[in-house]
Structures are given as structure tokens and as C-alpha cells.
Copies of this chain bind each other. A is one copy, B any other.
Amino acid sequence: MAASSYDVVGIGNAIVDVLAKAEESFLASQGLAKGTMALIDAARAEALYAKMGEGIEASGGSAANTIAGLASLGGRGAYIGKLQDDQLGHIFAHDLASLGVAFKTPPLKNGPPTARCLILVTPDAQRTMNTFLGACVELGPEDVDPDLVASAQVTYLEGYLFDPPRAMEAFRKAASLAHQAGRKVALSLSDPFCVGRHRPEFLDLVKSHIDVLFANEHEICSLYETEHFEQAAEHVRGHCEIAVLTRSERGSNIVTSKEMLHVAPAQVARVVDTTGAGDLYAAGFLYGLTHGRDLAACGKLGSLCAGEVIGHFGARPETSLRNLAKGAGLL
């Protein structure tokens, strides 16, 4: 196997987040299910935005957040995702470039605008997401650069890619290319409702094509249609080499055929906004995995990164994760 140019290449929906605070009553009045991601069309995005409070805009996208976190740890990241050639698209591309992430997917020149996610953060720090996929619906297998995938130790796919029509082909192409090159394929289940929308496809992938699976408790239970976390953990044990199951304040579990490790959650002074928690956990874990750390150390790095991002508003780290990890004795 050739030396790797990148630690991780992420493939995902390239999205700019619009974050605003909201009361529980606003979620109720808009019929929004707290803590989940709903797909919305352009008209609904307009209407919901018109009712939302003052917001801040920041680059987001699940896999892109993970790659941003990896870069903040000092890792070598690349990204594949579809933008429009518009102001929000320029912001998204700028932010990845500023982190040293390789991102060369050509943007659309016409058609739908850059995707946005309207994120409502309630006083309990939970985030409720409403995604208008915009340009992401045009991501296809032609956007997957075989050399790029072959040159990355891990190809990381977000489950949200099951939603846009052609991304699945890109997804399967990337997974296949990665395995041909002797690389690992990782997947995040992203969202319990997303899993529910595409359960058979997810199960097939997880059984046959995924080496490292990331899921939170709700997602893994949705995948195996059980209410019991332990049952879901047993199911996934035989399906993936490594399954990383996060449980918010209960920490995380790393499941392999041989063992089940528990990792303590990070200590956080005040949880402000959980947006990006899972994405940043994956960043820390994948940094560890691609730098030869044992699974326990990978989990600790994941917890540390998740802890940083939930301590402030927004889905990307505000401080150098590398310095933070060094300070904690993890690097």
C-alpha cells in the first residue's frame, strides 16, 4: 500500500449553518422534533427563516465539521462536497482552505444555491436542524476523485448522504475505491430519522462495506429497530470491525469483536450548544486511529474534541484542538 497523503477524506453535504437561539415553544409551534434533522425545501426554508431570530452563519456540514476538527488536531484532511458558486459557497470553501483542508470539488455554476441548515438551539443546549440541501443534490460519483480516495487512510462518509438522490452512487464508488486501495471506510449514521428513511440500505452497507461505524444511541437503536442499547451493540459487533457508540453524558462505547471499551465523557463546565458533538467526536477518534493510537486513546481524543465543541455556540472548534489535546496529555 502506498504511503498516504491524507489521514482522512470526508464526503458529505456541504452546508452553511444558520444558528439561532429558540424557545421550546417555537419548536412546538413549527412542528419540529427536538434534537433531530429534518429536510426542508426552498419554500419551507424561506418561511422558517423568516420566523427565526437573529442568527450567525458558520460553515457546517457533518463530515466537513469532522475534517475541520481533524485539521485542528494537526491531521491531514481532504473533503468532497457540492457547493454553488455563491456567497455562502465561498464562505464554506474559504473556511476549509483556511484550515489547510484539501477541497477541490467543482462548485455548480447554476441551479440551486449552497445548502444551508437552519439550526435552532434551545435553552437546554439541544440543537434542532432543518436542512435545505440546495446544491448538495447534485453531488454524484463524478465528484469522487479516485486518486484522492486512494491516498487517504480513511474515507469517512456521513449518513446524511443517503438523502440527496445521486450521493449514494458517490458514496458506494468511494467505499469501493477505498477498499481496492487497501484503505478503511468509516460511516457516521448521522441521525435516527435519516436511518429510518434508509434502513435497508444502511444495514446492507454496515454489514458489508463499513470498517468503522460511528453512531449515537438513538441512531444505533434505530438501525437495529430495538429500544435496548445493549442489544444494538451486540448486533453491530459482528458487522463492523469497530463500532463507536456515543451516549452523550454517559460517555461512549467502542465495540469490536474482541472487546467493549467504555470511554468517559469529557468534563464540560457548561454545555452551550450540542451542534457538532458527534462530528467532533469522530474527528478525535479518527485522528487517533490514523496515528496509531489504541482504541481507548482514540475514544479519549473523541471525547475531548466533542467536549470542546459543546462548550460554545457553533459546530466547529473555537480553539486549537491540538493544543487542547496536548494540554490534556493526549498528544
- Whole-angstrom CA separation of A77 from B87 in the bound complex: 28
Closest to A312 in B: B313
Task: Confirm or deny: A193 has a beta carbon within 8 angstroms of a beta carbon on chain B.
Answer: no
For A168, the chain B residues whose CB sits under 8 A away are none
Partner of A57, one of B56, B97, B316: B56
- Whole-angstrom CA separation of A50 from B95 in the bound complex: 9
Interface 1/0 per residue, A160-185 and B, CB below 8 Å? 00000000000000000000000000
Task: Confirm or deny: A49 has a beta carbon within 8 angstroms of a beta carbon on chain B.
Answer: yes
Partner of A54, one of B53, B55, B56, B99: B99
CB distance from A300 to the nearest CB of B (A): 25
Interface 1/0 per residue, A89-118 and B, CB below 8 Å? 001001101110000000000000100000
Closest to A57 in B: B57
CB distance from A96 to the nearest CB of B (A): 8
For A18, the chain B residues whose CB sits under 8 A away are 91
- Whole-angstrom CA separation of A53 from B94 in the bound complex: 8
> How many chain A residues touch B (Cβ–Cβ < 8 Å)?
27
Interface members, chain A 277-319 (any B CB < 8 Å)? 314, 316, 318
Partner of A56, one of B56, B68, B97: B56
Interface 1/0 per residue, A35-58 and B, CB below 8 Å? 000000000000001101111111
Whether the pair B56, A98 counts as a contact (CB closer than 8 A) is: no
For A316, the chain B residues whose CB sits under 8 A away are 54
For A52, the chain B residues whose CB sits under 8 A away are 94, 98
Closest to A72 in B: B54
Partner of A87, one of B50, B53, B87, B318: B87
CB distance from A29 to the nearest CB of B (A): 15
Q: Other CB < 8 Å A-B pairs besides A49-B94, A50-B97, A54-B98, 19 of them? A: A20-B98, A50-B94, A52-B94, A53-B98, A53-B99, A54-B59, A54-B95, A54-B99, A54-B316, A55-B58, A55-B91, A55-B94, A56-B56, A56-B57, A56-B314, A57-B57, A57-B58, A87-B87, A87-B113
